[in-house]
Structure 1
Amino acid sequence: MSDTPNCDAELDTSGLNCPLPLLKAKMALNPMASGAVLKVVATDAGSQRDLRTFAQLAGHTLLHETAEAGVYTYWLRKA
């Protein structure tokens, strides 16, 4: 999977329902340096809407996202 961005930290929120994947992603991003990339893995379909909206509102960049067999993966670059 060479087309996926490198990440500085990884967060697995599999099995958690909305809004927990978003809250955990937000908490994981807080201590990270500006420009660092967080990879988030989720199984909640609502995470697609939540993380896209969060990135837009908070000024973070959603570099890449995948959805495969009910697993949603996001790469967020911290603003």
Structure 2
Amino acid sequence: MLEQEDRPLANPDTVYDLKGLNCPLPVLKTKKRLATMKPGSRLWLETTDPLAVIDIPAFCSDAGHQLIETAAVSGGHRFLVERGGAA
């Protein structure tokens, strides 16, 4: 898993803006969004919830998704998640 600071996104259209939401909403909304995507699809998440650095990796592990990248950015965190075979 790569960690990078404020690196621009290759495709900003795939960003799911979860800024301003607190636990458990980032995980619940991510779960719902990933359920609509095909396995192998990737989604960038942007959060400001400090607990997301714990919650998003735990959710990915529990739900069978892969956390590809995480980065601390100004005001929060960014995660790249690849949808697994089960939602």
Tell me which interval the TM-score lies in, with the shorter structure as reference length: 0.7 to 0.9
Give the alignment's Cα RMSD to 1 decimal. Answer: 1.9
- Gap runs ≥5 in structure 1: none
- Gap runs ≥5 in structure 2: 1-6
TM-score, length basis structure 1: 0.87
Candidates 12, 23, 26, aligned match of 2:28? 23
**1:1-79, aligned counterparts within 5 Å?**
1=7, 9-79=14-84
TM-score, length basis structure 2: 0.79
Change beyond 3 A, Cα 1:26–1:7: farther
Work out the number of aligned pairs and report it.
78
**Distance in 2 of aligned mates of 1:39 and 1:78:** 11
1:54 partner letter: F
